[in-house]
Amino acid sequence: MIRILTRLILLALIAWPVGTWAKAMHPKPAPPRILVNQVGYLPHLPKRALFTGDPSGPKEAKAILVDSETQTPMLKITPGRPYREKNRATPLRILDFSALKKEGRYHITWQGIRSLDFHIGHEIYTDALTLLLRSYTLQRCGVALEDPLTGLRHGPCHLQDALVAREDPFAPMGTRVDARGGWHDAGDFGKYVATTAITAGRLLAAWEKAPTPLKALSLSLPHHDRASPTCDLLTETRVGLLWMLRMQRSDGALYRKLSGSSWPSPISPDEDSQTRYLYGISSPETAKAAAAFAMAARVYKASDPVFSRQCLSAARKAWEFLVANPEMLIDHQPGDDSGSGPYLYSPVDREATLTTDLDDRFWAAAELFITTRETPFLKEVERILPMLPWGLYEWKDPSALGMANLLHHQKKATRLTARLKKKLILRADTLILHVKKCPWFTANPRLIWGSNKMIAEEGITLALAYEQTGNPVYLSAASAQLNFLLGINPFGISFVTGLGEHSVRHSNHLFARALGKSIPGLLVGGANASAEDGIAPKGKGLRSYVDDPRSYATNEYAIDYNASLIGLIVHLTATSPGRVP
């Protein structure tokens, strides 16, 4: 515990500002470097570093992996054959050291270059998971923040949340509905059902995958949470779920989002005193919430039966609304997005899955079936399943988690599991093709807003495919997604603030900017070739990223991004043969 605390304080300090925000890091042609996953490598996983640049010494020489504590050479590594990225002169070489499984702190040297230190060990992701999960505590809305570990503090925020933006059959315009609580969605202060549901779903799925290690995590939660009968992860996830319960109308539908009508400037959340509104209801959001509630009903059943029953009844009510409204329904009007993100089909987000709610209904039906075992839900699962491929789990299409959970909970092989498995493998094989084509081994070729979270999600899919087949190619590709996010990328940075020796420092976050500090534990969006902010370079593939506080389209964090990375770490850890489930 003391070790974790010291580590967190250290990480927070590392993340503290050294200069002004204007001194953002602009990547230059890099001198030779050995890039590593800056957190480290789980002993059972394949292990790779990447040498970038021209060797200055004899190319035949071997790279050496050195124990950083004792300076003992541990392993000679034969560098892989050089290869190049399209249109770039700098060669890349793989340094594979999978053979080393011994726990310790190490670095690699070759050609007079030294990598950063990294760890090999079974427990090395405990601190990272703690840091990533603590971000939710720091994002809580409706309460004061007084965090002993980071020193971050603000007064209670958004206590008037919120007024109904326009008349509906259940509330005249301007009615106050108590929708306090939840998490601020991202660097801004809006609260959205789409991302809260996705986040809760991912976190609860992580818990279902590996409850024992997650139960042991301590988030140093505020005092009033201490009496909670559940583990810290479940206590924190309940914050999002409780808020979603408040977003539900009496007919079961959920309001889509809650925000002000203009974007706040960089201020502390408690200084954001504008009126905040509840915008219209929708079937996609209602379905996503139904799914997350249904998951919560089974996950909290043992530790918090009252909450579990509340969630199940909310899930059923949401489902009744969906049954009564079989067509996709979105109450959205011009002006709804003047101070918040649309989270809908839009010029920026054009995926076909945003033109239907079948993917959302599928997720709801799947989770309700898993929780209740009732036939009507299974019927709906079987009706929709043939229309859906295994996709990328996110607010635009949550169906993949429904599929994964159906597989996870169905212990016997059935016709349904065979169909699901086939879809999974088809997806994973496509991902392998992407990995093989990409010099940085990413499985996600769509370099758009939030690409880092997409990389993490594809990593989860690959880990699931490994679990189903035992094919090591999937496991290696899954590990590569984590390695990319934590250091083996064109910038050689960890995309999580305060995690790793060389991490993002200038994330786009209103509260952080107001303080002139960095908030630790946030996964930023990453490369986005469209760079809608006009700050990050456009059209540069994986290099369309900049560590600049103004780059909201590449350097902002969001609750759903962190959840994907947490999920990837948990799923990779769970592939260990010796793990405790």
Element holding 518 (H helix, E strand): none
Q: From the list ligand 9MR, Zn ion, none, which binds 556 (C-beta under 5 to 8 Å, kind-based)?
A: ligand 9MR
CB of 16 to ligand 9MR, least distance (A): 23
Q: From the list ligand 9MR, Zn ion, none, which binds 188 (C-beta under 5 to 8 Å, kind-based)?
A: ligand 9MR
Does position 181 bind Zn ion by CB under 5 A? no
CB of 508 to ligand 9MR, least distance (A): 8
CB of 52 to ligand 9MR, least distance (A): 29
In this structure, the number of other CB atoms found within 10 A of the CB of residue 78 comes to 12
Does position 264 bind Zn ion by CB under 5 A? no
Size of site (CB under 5 A) for Zn ion: 4
Q: From the list Zn ion, ligand 9MR, none, which binds 361 (C-beta under 5 to 8 Å, kind-based)?
A: none
CB of 547 to ligand 9MR, least distance (A): 15
Is the four-CA dihedral 531, 537, 540, 542 of positive or negative sign? negative
* Closer residue to Zn ion (CB): 273 or 313: 273
CB of 186 to Zn ion, least distance (A): 12
CB 472 within 8 A of CB 463: no
Q: From the list Zn ion, ligand 9MR, none, which binds 390 (C-beta under 5 to 8 Å, kind-based)?
A: none
Q: From the list Zn ion, ligand 9MR, none, which binds 358 (C-beta under 5 to 8 Å, kind-based)?
A: none
Task: Tell me the C-alpha to C-alpha distance, in Å, between residue 403 and each of 160, 294, 409, 421.
Answer: 39, 15, 10, 9
CB 11 within 8 A of CB 498: yes
CB 278 within 8 A of CB 177: yes
Provide φ and ψ at 493, rounded to 5°: -115, 160
CB of 141 to ligand 9MR, least distance (A): 14
* Closer residue to Zn ion (CB): 141 or 287: 141
DSSP 63-80: EEEEETTT--EEEEEPPP
Residues 267-286 as x/- pattern, contact with Zn ion by CB under 5 A: --x-----------------
CB of 444 to ligand 9MR, least distance (A): 13
CB 484 within 8 A of CB 462: no
Rounded CA gap, 187 and 156, in Å?
A: 17
**Amino acid code (one letter) for 344:** L
Q: From the list Zn ion, ligand 9MR, none, which binds 339 (C-beta under 5 to 8 Å, kind-based)?
A: none
* Closer residue to Zn ion (CB): 423 or 513: 513
CB of 22 to ligand 9MR, least distance (A): 22
Q: Hey, which residues between 140 and 159 contact Zn ion (CB under 5 A)?
A: 141, 157-158
**Amino acid code (one letter) for 190:** G
Q: Is 138 exposed, middle or buried (0-12, 13-18, 19+ CB in 10 A)?
A: buried
Rounded CA gap, 231 and 296, in Å?
A: 14
Provide φ and ψ at 224, rounded to 5°: -65, -10
* Closer residue to ligand 9MR (CB): 477 or 558: 558
Positions that interact with ligand 9MR (CB under 6 A): 185-186, 188, 341-342, 348-349, 449-450, 525, 552, 556, 558
CB of 441 to ligand 9MR, least distance (A): 23
Q: Is 329 exposed, middle or buried (0-12, 13-18, 19+ CB in 10 A)?
A: middle
Rounded CA gap, 195 and 203, in Å?
A: 12
* Closer residue to Zn ion (CB): 269 or 490: 269
* Closer residue to Zn ion (CB): 149 or 510: 510
Rounded CA gap, 395 and 45, in Å?
A: 30
Q: Hey, which residues between 156 and 175 contact Zn ion (CB under 5 A)?
A: 157-158
Does position 297 bind Zn ion by CB under 5 A? no
Closest-approach residue to ligand 9MR (CB): 341
CB of 395 to ligand 9MR, least distance (A): 7
Residues 561-580 as x/- pattern, contact with Zn ion by CB under 5 A: --------------------
Rounded CA gap, 526 and 553, in Å?
A: 8
- Residue 162, preceding bond cis, omega within 30 degrees? yes
CB 555 within 8 A of CB 549: yes
Q: From the list ligand 9MR, Zn ion, none, which binds 158 (C-beta under 5 to 8 Å, kind-based)?
A: Zn ion
Q: Which of 567, 568, 527 is nearest to 551 (CA)?
A: 527
The site for Zn ion (CB under 5 A) is made up of 141, 157-158, 269
